[in-house]
Structure 1
Amino acid sequence: MSDIEKQDELSLDLHERLCFSWKNVSFSVKHKGSDKQLVSNVSGHVRAGEMLAVMGPSGAGKSTTLDLLAGRKLMSSGSAFIDGSEVTKPSDIRRISSYVEQEDALLGVLTVGETVRFSARLSLLNSGMTPSQIDQLADETVASLGLAAVKDNRVGTPIQRGISGGQKRRLTVANGFVARPKLLFLDEPISGLDSSSGYEVLSAIRKVARERNIAVIATVHSPTWETFSLFDRTLLLAGGQTMFYGKPEEVAPYFASLGHPCPPHTNPADHMMNLVNNDFGQVGEAQPATSGGVAAHDQAAFAASWLRHTQSSADPTQSPCLTDGSKPKFYAPSSESKLRSARNMISQIGLLTRRNLVNYSRNVLAFGIRTGMYIGMGIMVGLVWINLPQTDSRTNDRLSVHFYSVAFLGFMSVAGIPAFLEERAVYVRESKNNLYGPAAFTIAQTLVTLPFLFICTFMFSVIAYWAIGLHPGGTHFFNWLAFVYLGVAAAEMQSLLIAAIIPIFVASLAIAAFLNGFWMSVQGYFMRNLPAFWKSWAHWIDYETFAFQLLVKSDFKGLVFPCAGSLVEKTCQCSFPSSLLAAGQCAVSGNDVIDSLGYGGASMVLYAFILVLIMLFYRIAFYVALRVTV
């Protein structure tokens, strides 16, 4: 027997006895000063290898119930049980489960195989499996979900065609299965798919769930009868209350007993959904033909009928797990589940950094075009300011180069928001499944973003600096490059922070653009005598203030700019006060320009350090934003 087969055998042994149940689960929120009940006294169970469908019309409480059972929301009342033992901490459920969101949050430039392998390695860092065993498990999961034929295909980006919508759904589910959970929660796994694709997706899920003894709970909306029949049980909700719980084949007889027989050639799933949906029907509008039945669309009457049904006969929601008195009263996580939840941050950072490097190197739309933008900007600036004369009359033109390099390169940082929002969506999915936390994500993202920004800044600088003819000498060039880079990096970290707080592209783009425009205004280049109000605070928290002064000092220090006219003819005119006139030279020194601008007291080391502190502040705030908002 191979090592991976032994691992699978161990996993199956652990799963064979799993029975997950819940009793009288309720959830309410404060609304206009009173409690609004979203879920009320919902009970049920699911066993290893079974699939439970949570159904109901829009607003029935399906997703809320799923989140409550998955430990993502705290129950107002009620209990959940694992193998008959009561769960006291929601985190215990999260340790043994995976949750698949409705949206397919995937990195488009990764292949199907790479996506699942990265997910597997992050999920199973402390499982005791070797990397080769984890990769083998990932490949087996890909094959089990019918994705072997597209394993080497990329997921797809706006400019590169990828796999189909149904294949993306199966890929997202594969990321959940590969973690070897005992429980798998699926939020609308067939939403947006045609009936054929939906059936294929759920058939694949059922197959893997049975093979690996995984209990599956899925919210579904309008399944065909073929798809509906794949489930072992269904929980029908309306208005947060239970309308029915049982096997698919029991749906028609139960509602027929309430005076609503399923019409010929009608899907029982559609029939029961129509009966409890009151969005378009009025209570009591359609009375049943059978005397003593329940009016269609009357959710309260259906809920009361179900309650009477559970009291007058064997309650189908009663879990078989609860009858074994040998079970401990309270659930305690096994060593295996504790091991799975342990975090190895260094390994997480390494895996996330590798994945980010692949993403950056392949994503032409997000990163290739950005690099091209900086190169194009360098060519444009170089051509507009080409061979700038080193004279007093052109000092303001020289200052404008430094302003433009700081302000507009910083403004271009908003181009990084779309790619980050894709990364953030993946982070939300993976962090909620306990694969890693905000610290590992922040560090890994920083380790890849900073070198990428340096490449962009270098490409711009090496073109523009020498084409313009700024201060000659390698030392001055590398100083200028370093200071531009610090400004660009600070701007990038600011944009990413905004996108982390407000993960809506148009909104984060608008705020970042406004903020960069504000920094340009209070930086001091356009208006050197700023009003005291802006000078006292805004000017000194502006990254552009420090970057601009550093560029000016790096370039101007040690240069001499000849002025117009002649001292002999007493026609010498300089734009800035000059200390060289007393020495008989009709010129102004770069140091004179620096002093006239009020930058003489600026320490280059201190200002560079302040830029680093600004970046560090943005990164810490970024971490906090992810921790608070996700």
Structure 2
Amino acid sequence: MKEFVPQRTAAYISQHDLHLGEVTVRETLAFSARCQGVGTRYDMLAELSRREKEANIKPDPDIDVFMKAVATEGQEASVITDYILKILGLDVCADTMVGNEMLRGISGGQRKRVTTGEMLVGPARALFMDEISTGLDSSTTFQIVNSLRQTVHILNGTAVISLLQPAPETYDLFDDIILLSDGVIVYQGPREHVVSFFESMGFRCPERKGVADFLQEVTSRKDQMQYWVRKDQPYRFITANEFAEAFQSFHVGMKLGDELGTPFDKTKSHPAALTTQKYGVGKWELLKACIAREFLLMKRNSFVYIFKCMQLTVMALITMTLFFRTEMHKDSVQGGRIYMGALFFGMTMIMFNGMSELSMTISKLPVFYKQRDLLFFPSWAYALPSWILKIPITFLEVSIWVFITYYVIGFDPNAERFFRQYLILVLTNQMASGLFRSIAAIGRNMIVANTFGSFALLVLFALGGFVLSREDIKGWWIWGYWISPMMYGQNALMANEFLGHQWNRVLPGSNVSLGVEVLNSRSFFPDSYWYWIGVGGLIGFVLLFNFVFTVALTYLAPFEKNKAVISDEPESDDQVNGVGVGGSIQLTNQESSSSHVNRSDIQDDIQRSTSSMSFSMSDATVGANGKGKKGMVLPFEPHSITFDDIVYSVDMPQEMKEQGVPEDRLVLLKGVSGAFRPGVLTALMGVSGAGKTTLMDVLAGRKTGGYIDGNITVSGFPKKQETFARVSGYCEQNDIHSPHVTVYESLLYSAWLRLSSEVDAQTRKMFIEEVMELVELKPLRHALVGIPGVNGLSTEQRKRLTIAVELVANPSIIFMDEPTSGLDARAAAIVMRTVRNTVDTGRT
């Protein structure tokens, strides 16, 4: 591994979509392509051209132009970016913001494709793709895998892809299959032989069963028994280790063992096959790319800077009326101290105006860590633009403050001292920005950074020389005075002001000027050279804090490490022996004559409950053995929802207007009509980006922007969002939960906030237990939720928690946006059984 750079030789595509929400899809891919470079494409093109000339071959013009375009380095917009956009079906949303939890953007499926495209635009030919189909429809997944298959075959590349719930036609595209179970490789070899291997072990895939689903379930303790075909032998559970041992004696395993036992001959490997350069392009190109992106982000976040300027303007107007020159006198030490207060307040305002750097830096850190670890750019190339590009903003902010307040407050009218104060405040602002950026990079977490930052500010203020004068600071704390940046700034400001012409008068009974007396009264240094010491000190702190910021970005990793949550409830003997196959929650079949609660009974119950406008959850929650579960009696009113001619539009994005689109609005929903009924599970289907989430957001009243036309009624009455929110639940596609609480605490918090106050505490807790059993979360009740992709619950467990959080609110109407997204076949079956059981209680 030391002979080459694995991060650049191979491309890893994570299952977690980490992107900057303020940039468009095209800009995201273009930045990635610009940083990763063209690899060996240029050398390959040069070699190809040489051979064509030797053989007197004239290349096809179109192919020749394309190959020259993709081999050109350092372009802001490359042909390969447009090519990948087209392959992934992202050309329709290329100029749309990626978005995040707080910013409207592309759909979940499109975001997943952006994650894939971000690495495909690079030159790596060994691709490791982790669950790239999450949130995608089957046709899009098929198209992507088919394109990858052709690329791998033509360019002799390597691709390892982990997929959840692949469609049969997508499964058939693969050449080899690696089946992993309990950390052991059960099978590795050609796709054609995998079924025959399991048949040799006594398990057969049913004709109507997808092979991919069969492979996922045949190693599962709960699902294995249904595939056992040796009726003359008693079934027992075959573990993953037993499968792995049997594979070694299978003909495919034996051949694989022979191949792996033969040492690889390095002389047969091409020198360009492994990447030895740490970064894809030169340092100057990387710096230019990072500067361009940082400038783009500043433009997209321009509201923050405009708001900061407006805030400074308002505070400057308040300050100049508070410290008004006609009310302030320069004939006493007491009057001088009031001027000191004005200078201190001005420095404090300029300093605190940089505090927004803390949250803005932390919000971008997850994306930075991903791109840093993928060797997109070195840390200094990211840190420098975020410092250098903010300098003009600093000049503007300080100009607003100084130009408004300086002469109105009545500071020394000398122009030189005016610009000296301006310089000190500019350096103070830069120092504060660097301080907050370095705190953010060291803290790496909003809670830690705020705690640490508050303590640092407290020390800076207390030991800055104004709140406590130098003489009042105890000897064992005096080191804090000398290392406080505010001390240097305040000494420079005070020396600049009080050694000026208007403070030169000597009071009766004194042998020094009034300005010196004022400085001595608070133990400031009364020497003019302290202005330049202050300037030098602040410049030193600016450089120090930005250096610390860069070092923290280089060497520190995110706080949390990847951890798995293991269920604290062991498998039961019934499950081991095959009883309850398919999961502990299974709906009763209509043909089950022995069951105590069958489908017709449930339908009768629903009809009766509809007439009485209340229904008990226990009447329809059906156990694995067909017996009715004893549930909670929490009544609700079944409601239907109808919508007619729904039109939803948003303002046309500026990027599309610049491309010549004449319309003022972009229509996303075009006259959609329909109805949802109680007790009926309605599937809203469509390709990725068709508008499924948009329609549900509009119906649920979750759209805060845009224009909605049409009629929405609930049980015949016009929908009012205030009351509708009390009877509806919405399971988002993105599973957003508090990371530092347990599963049970998440449900308890939701129930306390959303259930009626008439429900007593004991009933709430019993209802929560029932819901946890319904969605199979009881074994995880004490598990911390954690942060997605870092620690805590898995994607599937998080999805079930999202559904449970809504179910404990006892809603009548439930919207679920892709509840099986990111789940394997078994997990999806558990979730859909949960959904089915929920609907059978009479909910919509």
What's the TM-score, normalizing by structure 1? 0.72
CA distance in structure 1 between the aligned counterparts of 2:267 and 2:376, rounded to whole angstroms? 29
CA–CA separation in structure 1 for the residues paired with 2:228 and 2:346: 76
TM superposition shift of 1:355: 1.4
Match of 1:56 in 2: none
Q: 2:390 is paired with a residue of what secondary structure?
A: helix
User: Structure 1: which 5+ residue stretches go unaligned?
Assistant: 1-87, 563-577
Matches within 5 A, 1:144-159: 144-156=87-99
- The alpha-carbon deviation at position 119 of structure 1 amounts to 2.0
CA offset at residue 231 of structure 1? 3.5
Give the Cα separation in 1 of the matches to 2:247 and 2:297.
52
Cα distance, 1:289 vs structure 2:
5.8
Once the two structures are TM-superposed, the CA of residue 353 in structure 1 deviates from its matched residue by: 0.8
Contact 2:37 2:280 in 1 (8 A): no
Between the aligned partners of 2:477 and 2:396, the Cα distance in structure 1 is 34
Are positions 1:600 and 2:520 aligned together? no
One-letter code of the match for 2:374?
N
1:124 equivalent to 2:37? Answer yes
**Structure 1 pair 328–514 and aligned structure 2 pair: CA distance change class (3 A):** same
Q: Which residue in the other structure is 2:320 paired with? A: 382
> 1:621–1:277: structure 2 CA closer, same or farther, 3 Å change rule?
farther
1:251/1:268 contact within 8 Å kept: no
Q: Is 2:439 the counterpart of 1:513?
A: no
5 Å-filtered alignment, 1:582-593, equals 582=509, 589-593=514-518
What is the match of residue 474 of structure 2? 532
Q: Secondary structure at the match of 2:371?
A: helix
Q: Any unmatched runs of 5+ in structure 2?
A: 43-70, 558-844
Encode CA deviations 1:335-363: one digit per residue, 9 max, x unaligned: 99457846521221122112111110121
- Output one character per residue of 1:401-452: Cα deviation in whole Å (capped at 9) or x when no partner: 2222333443343311232234433332333232321122222322213333
SS of the aligned residue for 2:256 comes to coil
Corresponding residue of 1:110: 23
- Of 554, 559, 563 in structure 1, the residue corresponding to residue 496 of structure 2 is 554
User: Residues 125 and 225 of structure 1: is their aligned pair in 2 closer, same or farther, counting only changes over 3 Å?
Assistant: closer
TM-superposed deviation, 1:464 = 3.4
Q: Taking structure 1 as reference, are residues 125 and 245 closer, same or farther at Cα in structure 2, changes over 3 Å only?
A: closer
Q: Equivalents in 2 of 1:414, 1:360: separation in Å?
A: 16
- Which residue is equivalent to 1:614? 541
Range moving further from structure 2, 126-135 or 207-216:
126-135
Distance 1:237 1:525, change over 3 A: same
**Matched letter for residue 319 of structure 2:** V
Structure 1: distance between partners of 2:236 and 2:311? 65
1:179 aligned partner: 122
Deviations 1:211-269 (A, max 9, x none): 47342223334445455444333322233220122355544443343233335644433
Residue 498 (structure 1) aligned with residue 439 (structure 2): yes
Tell me if the contact between 2:351 and 2:428 (Cα under 8 Å) persists in the aligned partners.
Answer: yes
Residues 218, 227 of structure 2: 8 Å contact kept: no
Kindly indicate whether the alpha-carbon contact (under 8 Å) linking 2:352 and 2:432 is maintained by their aligned counterparts in 1. yes
- Equivalent residues of 2:3, 2:276 under 8 A apart: no
Output the amino acid matched with 2:285: S
**Which is worse superposed, 427-436 or 381-390?**
381-390
Counterpart of 1:461 in structure 2 is 402
What is the CA distance between 1:132 and its match in structure 2? 5.4
Q: Deviations over 1:466-507 (max 9, x none)?
A: 443333243222222221222222222122112222322232
Counterparts of 2:150 and 2:15, CA distance in 1: 22
Q: Is this contact kept in 2: 1:471–1:559, CA < 8 A?
A: yes
SS of alignment partner, residue 250 of structure 2: helix
Deviation of residue 607 (structure 1)?
1.8
Q: Secondary structure at the match of 1:262?
A: coil
Give the counterpart of 1:315 among 256, 260, 265.
Answer: 256
Distance 1:523 1:310 in 2: 77
**Normalization by structure 2: what TM-score?**
0.55
Secondary structure of the equivalent of 1:243?
strand
Q: Displacement, 1:608?
A: 1.3
SS of 1:581's equivalent in the other structure is coil
Identity over aligned residues, as a percent? 20
CA distance 1:317–1:266, change in 2 (3 Å) = farther
Show the 5 A alignment for 1:209-228: 210-211=150-151, 213=155, 214-228=157-171
Q: Which residue of 2 aligns with 1:360?
A: 298
CA distance in 2: counterparts of 1:516 and 1:109, whole angstroms: 30
Letter matched to residue 297 of structure 2? N
1:70 matched residue in structure 2: none
Matches within 5 A, 1:100-499: 100-124=13-37, 129-131=72-74, 135-156=78-99, 160-191=103-134, 193=135, 196=137, 200-201=140-141, 203-208=143-148, 210-211=150-151, 213=155, 214-248=157-191, 250-263=193-206, 265-277=208-220, 288=228, 290=230, 295-296=236-237, 298-309=239-250, 313-315=254-256, 318=259, 327-328=265-266, 333-334=271-272, 337-338=275-276, 341=279, 343-364=281-302, 366-387=304-325, 389-391=328-330, 392=332, 393-499=334-440
Kept after mapping to 1: 8 A contact 2:10/2:124: yes
2: distance between equivalents of 1:199 and 1:504?
39
Farther-moved stretch of structure 1 (116-125 vs 220-229)? 220-229
Q: Does 1:99 align with 2:12?
A: yes
Q: Hey, what's the Cα distance between the residues in 2 that align with 1:317 and 1:479?
A: 78
Instruction: Return 287-296 or 525-534, whichever deviates more.
Output: 287-296
Q: Which moved more, 1:452-461 or 1:353-362?
A: 452-461
Q: What is the one-letter code of the residue matched to 2:158?
A: A
Preserved contact between residue 500 and residue 626 of structure 1 (Cα < 8 Å): yes
Structure 1: distance between partners of 2:174 and 2:487: 63
Aligned-partner SS, 2:532: helix
Q: Is contact 1:411–1:513 with CA below 8 Å preserved after alignment?
A: no
Question: Deviations along 1:69-117, whole A, 9 cap, x unmatched?
Answer: xxxxxxxxxxxxxxxxxxx437343332222233333232222222222
Comparing 411-420 with 373-382, greater Cα deviation is found at 373-382
> Relative CO higher for 1 or 2, CA cutoff 8 Å, sep ≥ 6?
1
Aligned partner of residue 554 in structure 1, secondary structure: helix
SS in 2 for 1:154: coil
CA–CA separation in structure 2 for the residues paired with 1:270 and 1:600: 82
CA contact (8 A) 1:225 1:267 kept: yes
State the secondary structure of the residue aligned to 2:16: coil
Deviates more, 1:438-447 or 1:220-229: 220-229
1:65 paired residue number: none
Deviation at 1:583, TM superposition (A): 7.7
